[in-house]
Amino acid sequence: MTSKYFVYTFLYLFLTAMCINAQQVKDPNISTLAERNQRAPESVFKKFRNAGMDPVEHQLTDIEREKLNNAFAILPPLHQKILKKHLHSISFMDNMPNTALTSPVETSDSVKMYNITFRAEILNQTISEWTTWKENTCYQKLTDSQYQVTIEAGNLDAIIYVLLHEATHVVDGVLNLTPHLNEKDVWEGSKDFTQNVWDKYNEPSENVINPLLDTVLFRSGKPIEVSYAPEVYKAIQKTPFVSLYSTASWFEDLAEALTIYHLTEKMKQPYKVVVLKNGIQEVLYEPSKNKRVKKRQNQLQIFYT
């Protein structure tokens, strides 16, 4: 199990960093972003197949297409503006190992373009169902544990959360809202969001992270026993991170911060991580009430102006 999670984590980071060759944009002025749905670049399929997986293209049903349209409709203004110019395509796969993958697309000019590929199964999940599943990839039950981790995040479609997150990567990649490596392998971009929180793109500052959070899947590459969950969420409450996934890198930190902020503050949805012991709540983490999280929210207003 440990090696499987490591492979998935490594594969995600590797694919996100690489530039994927794909067909050129046929119509960059498409007004309905959902209409840019097309087959994922063959190189994405190839990478998954080489890792021993068998992804296949997913054809959207009318109901699924409506869910996708709704997800695009609630994106913040800056997302809408950037995606109209820089979203090359969106794709859906069955049997895809991770939930989503945002990848640069090679084009004939200097305009940055991106493909977002989603695992189609999320179209049949709510945000609560999907986030609970993802959170539990961080844990394993070596014994008959008394502990259970759930996330209460409402009944909206999971694609809303995942598209918000992945589209934030596109906005970040275009505008360098966090530092990115340029063609000369030099980090360039704004440090407003990362300052005093991150020393390197995947290394939080010592005054922010603690040893227990460093053992979590998104940092260590392997799950931990679920009995540690109460202490994990007590620890994260003392940080400026909205979620465990935020601790993976400053890119994920920004995407998670914006997504949970938009859901809770703009859409008035809940987002609570609940740790139960024998069915009774032992720890509750609600990032929207975390003072350190709220302190960074001024940096998110660029998405709404």
How do residues 233-271 score in pLDDT, each as one tens digit?
999 999 999 999 999 999 999 999 999 999 999 999 999
Amino acid at 296: R
Q: How confident is the model at residue 5 (pLDDT cuts 50, 70, 90)?
A: very low
Contact, 173 vs 180, CB < 8 A? yes
Question: What pLDDT is recorded for position 50?
Answer: 86
Work out how many domains the chain is built from and give that number: 1
Statement: residue 194 has pLDDT above 90: yes
In the chain, % of residues over pLDDT 90: 78
Statement: residue 81 has pLDDT above 80: yes
100 pairs with which residues across the strands? 118
User: For the residues 28-36, what does the mean pLDDT come to?
Assistant: 69
* pLDDT, the chain, mean: 89
| H-type alpha helices, the chain | 2-17, 42-50, 62-73, 77-86, 127-136, 158-175, 217-220, 229-236, 250-261, 291-295
140 pairs with which residues across the strands? 225
Q: Per the structure block, which two tokens stand in for 292?
A: 């350190």
**HSE-up of 261 (CA within 13 Å, CB side)?**
23
Question: What pLDDT is recorded for position 63?
Answer: 96
Question: What pLDDT is recorded for position 11?
Answer: 39
CA-derived radius of gyration, the chain: 19
Q: How many CB atoms lie within 10 A of CB 278?
A: 8
**Which is nearest to 236 in space by CA: 200, 270, 272?**
272
* Separation of alpha carbons 198 and 200, rounded Å: 6
Question: What pLDDT is recorded for position 97?
Answer: 86
Q: Quote the domain boundaries for residue 38.
A: 2-304
More confident residue, 244 or 7: 244
Contact, 113 vs 83, CB < 8 A? no
Q: Does residue 263 sit in helix, strand or coil? A: helix
Q: What is the pLDDT of residues 104-161, one digit of tens each?
A: 998 888 899 999 999 999 999 999 999 999 999 999 987 778 999 999 999 999 999 9
Statement: residue 2 has pLDDT above 80: no
Question: What pLDDT is recorded for position 8?
Answer: 39
Question: What pLDDT is recorded for position 10?
Answer: 38
More confident residue, 31 or 299: 299
Question: What pLDDT is recorded for position 22?
Answer: 40
Least confident of 36-40, 172-176, 215-219, 280-284: 36-40
- 98 Cβ contact list (under 8 Å, min separation 6): 8, 11, 12, 119
Statement: residue 18 has pLDDT above 90: no
Cα distances (angstroms) measured from residue 252 to each of 34, 84, 245, 279, 301: 24, 22, 7, 31, 18
- 203 Cβ contact list (under 8 Å, min separation 6): none
Q: How confident is the model at residue 41 (pLDDT cuts 50, 70, 90)?
A: confident
* 59-65 contact pairs (CB < 8 A, 24+): 60/92, 60/123, 64/120, 64/123, 65/34, 65/37
* Separation of alpha carbons 78 and 83, rounded Å: 8
